[in-house]
């Protein structure tokens, strides 16, 4: 893979009219370019995506759907939205797609309300095991309005235990079974999930927000063609603008569309939908398939090297774009590790590990991922170096001189792999 072309932010007018905000945006771009982004849910979008985001559909109200809007003047907006829908359907082999969800949480909320009534029971993985807040956490709508029954990971392997999930499903008879996670480093057997759901008469729902880019590139099993409903964000491995989408079988199309609008949302953000259309086109290219493969290769290289340097990886490694490192082995908490790495311009997030004895505010682990550094063009060699740098910080979190040395190596790498000019 060649190093990606350099991309630009166009801020000429802002520079004139609002120098204060202009300066902040430039500083944020510099921060992104002068650091290594290992938060697995973040990525770097192309200049074409940025241009579509900053385009005139932001001026337009278009409540409703193509040809059924509540405002006039939407004939071109209809074409933009239909283009995004057609591209997404083709990318994932979906029968129906809704590209209006503003973000991952509202997408999941719409899916839940399309499939369930308040108080209905559903199954999902618990947050501290790698699930998401919207998968039934007590502080979230999903745990307040519906009745979650959580499955857990196997305490020995720290992986999904499909036999235990099947047993629980047979006992609990949920209306929906949710698979797809926020912090699970292993491959998901979606076919098995579908069989379990069919067996107990539950709807199959997958939240592929994290792995969507891997699914459409054929690097991870794609559940869309045979699952009832699949939600995703568009800004993680899919490398599009911040937003979300829902795909489903035709029989759920009307329920999904009505749950997004008028039930949950108002006017869709059509400039973002235009940017989604750009990203879906990009994701259908051979170059994107190569990118997705490299994301996984890079994650494996980073995980292997971290392990070789004496770190403990949850489940012993990774099959996808992310990994969890149990930093208590190095005498640290997740919060301390995140902060020390941040000083060295290496960005990650503190994260619970399965059966964590610590609180989510200062858990035992950190979560690392390779989507953004792979977009910058880095490969296995750089991952090896990165593992060494991360390990230096984890072993010397209080040493200013070590952090300074690591930071200067990080800056050197960053200068070699510039993405935004
Ligand atoms: N915030 C996302 C993540 O970091 O995985 C999930 O919503």
Residue 68's contacts (CB-CB under 8 Å, 6 or more residues apart) are: none
Alpha-carbon distance 332 to 113, whole Å?
41
Closest ligand 1 atom, residue 233 Cα: 7
Count of Cβ atoms closer than 10 Å to residue 163 Cβ: 11
CATH 3.90.1150.10 in the chain: give the residue spans.
Answer: 295-416
Q: Write the pLDDT tens digit of every residue in 222-255.
A: 999 999 999 999 999 999 999 999 999 999 999 9
**Closest Cα to atom 4 of ligand 1:** 41
Residue 3 has pLDDT above 70, yes or no: no
Distance in Å, CA 132 to ligand 1 centroid: 8
| Helix, strand, coil shares, percent, the chain, to 5 | 50, 15, 35
Tens digits of residue pLDDT in 253-304: 999 999 999 999 999 999 999 999 999 999 999 999 999 999 999 999 999 9
Q: In the prediction, which pLDDT does 5 show? A: 73
- What is the whole-number distance in angstroms between the Cα of residue 181 and the centre of ligand 1? 9
Closest C-alpha among 124, 103, 112 to residue 179? 124
| Predicted TM-score (pTM) above 0.85 | yes
| Block residue for tokens 């941040």 | 342
Rounded to the nearest whole angstrom, what is the distance from the C-alpha of residue 365 to the centroid of ligand 1?
Answer: 15
pLDDT digits (tens, 9 = 90+) for 9-48: 999 999 999 999 999 999 999 999 999 999 999 999 999 9
Kindly state the percentage of the chain with pLDDT values over 90: 98
Q: Dig out the tokens for 75 from the structure.
A: 């004939």
Token digits of residue 124: 């999902």
Strand, helix or coil for residue 146: coil
Looking at the chain, the domain(s) classified CATH 3.40.640.10 span 53-283
Residues tagged active-site: 61, 63, 207, 233, 236, 242
Q: What is the mean pLDDT of the chain?
A: 97
Measured by CA distance, the residue closest to atom 6 of ligand 1 is: 182
End-to-end CA distance of the chain: 20
Q: Mean pLDDT over residues 122-129, rounded?
A: 97
Predicted local confidence at residue 2, as pLDDT? 54
Burial status of residue 385 (CB atoms within 10 A of its CB: 0-12, 13-18, 19 or more): middle
| Cα dihedral across residues 412, 414, 416, 418: positive or negative | negative
Among 39, 41, 103, 142, name the best residue to mutate to test ligand 1's pocket (greatest count of ligand atoms within 8 A of Cβ): 41
What is the third-level CATH fold of 53-283?
3.40.640
**Which mutation among 130, 135, 209 tests ligand 1's pocket best, with the greatest number of atoms within 8 A of CB?**
209
Query: How remote is the CA of residue 195 from the centroid of ligand 1, in Å?
Result: 28
- 170-228, pLDDT tens digit by residue? 999 999 999 999 999 999 999 999 999 999 999 999 999 999 999 999 999 999 999 99
Q: What is the pLDDT of residue 70?
A: 97
**Nearest residue to 124 (alpha-carbon basis) of 200, 178, 160, 197:** 178
Ligand 1 binding pocket (C-beta < 6 A) is: 41, 104, 132, 182
Nearest CA-CA partner of 179 in 110, 130, 107, 236: 130
Is the separation of the CB atoms in 322 and 220 below 8 Å? Answer: no
Mutate to test the pocket of ligand 1, among 124, 130, 132 (most ligand atoms within 8 A of CB): 132
Q: What is the pLDDT of residue 265?
A: 98
What is the CB neighbour count within 10 angstroms for residue 93?
Answer: 12
Q: What confidence tier does 169 reach under pLDDT thresholds 50, 70, 90? A: very high
41 alpha carbon to ligand 1 midpoint, in Å?
A: 6
Checking if the pLDDT of 1 tops 60, the result is no
Give 223's contacts (C-beta < 8 A, 6+ positions apart). Answer: 179, 180, 190, 193, 194, 204, 206, 208, 215, 230
- Residue 142 is predicted with a pLDDT of 98
Tokens (6 digits) for 189: 């057997």
The verdict on domain 295-416 having CATH code 3.30.360.10 is no
pLDDT band of residue 371 (cuts 50, 70, 90) is very high
Rounded mean pLDDT of 405-420? Answer: 97
């Amino acid at each position: 893979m060649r190093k990606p072309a350099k991309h630009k932010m166009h801020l000429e007018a802002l520079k004139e009219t609002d120098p204060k905000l202009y300066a902040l945006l430039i500083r944020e771009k510099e921060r992104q370019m002068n650091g290594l982004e290992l938060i697995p849910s973040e990525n770097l979008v192309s200049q074409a995506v940025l241009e579509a985001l900053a385009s005139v559909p932001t001026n337009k109200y278009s409540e409703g759907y193509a040809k059924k809007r509540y405002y006039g003047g939407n004939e071109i907006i209809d074409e933009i939205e239909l283009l995004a829908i057609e591209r997404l359907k083709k990318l994932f082999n979906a029968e129906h797609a809704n590209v209006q969800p503003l973000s991952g949480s509202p997408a999941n909320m719409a899916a839940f309300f399309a499939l369930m009534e308040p108080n209905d029971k559903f199954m999902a993985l618990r947050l501290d095991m790698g699930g998401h807040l919207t998968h039934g956490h007590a502080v979230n709508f999903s745990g307040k309005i519906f009745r979650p029954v959580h499955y857990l990971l196997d305490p020995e392997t720290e992986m999904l235990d499909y036999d235990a999930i099947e047993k629980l499903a047979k006992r609990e008879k949920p209306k929906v079974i949710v698979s797809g996670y926020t912090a699970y480093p292993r491959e998901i057997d979606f076919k098995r999930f579908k069989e379990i759901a069919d067996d107990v008469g539950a709807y199959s729902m997958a939240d592929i927000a994290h792995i969507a880019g891997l699914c459409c590139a054929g690097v991870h099993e794609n559940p869309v063609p045979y699952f009832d409903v699949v939600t995703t964000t568009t800004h993680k491995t899919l490398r599009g603008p911040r937003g979300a989408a829902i795909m489903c079988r035709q029989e759920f199309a009307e329920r999904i569309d009505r749950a997004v609008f008028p039930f949950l949302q108002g006017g869709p953000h059509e400039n973002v939908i235009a940017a989604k259309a750009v990203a879906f086109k990009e994701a259908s290219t051979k170059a994107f398939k190569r990118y997705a493969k490299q994301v996984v290769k890079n994650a494996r290289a980073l995980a292997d090297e971290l392990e070789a340097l004496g770190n403990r990886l949850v489940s012993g490694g990774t099959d996808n774009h992310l990994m969890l490192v149990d930093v208590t082995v190095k005498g640290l908490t997740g919060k301390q590790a995140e902060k020390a790495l941040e000083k060295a311009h290496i960005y990650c997030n503190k994260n619970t590990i399965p059966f964590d004895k610590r609180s989510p505010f200062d858990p035992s682990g950190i979560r690392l991922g390779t989507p953004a550094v792979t977009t910058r063009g880095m490969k296995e060699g750089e991952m090896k170096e990165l593992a060494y740098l991360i390990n230096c910080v984890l072993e010397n979190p209080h040493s200013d001189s070590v952090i300074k040395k690591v930071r200067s190596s990080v800056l050197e790498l960053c200068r070699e792999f510039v993405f935004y000019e």
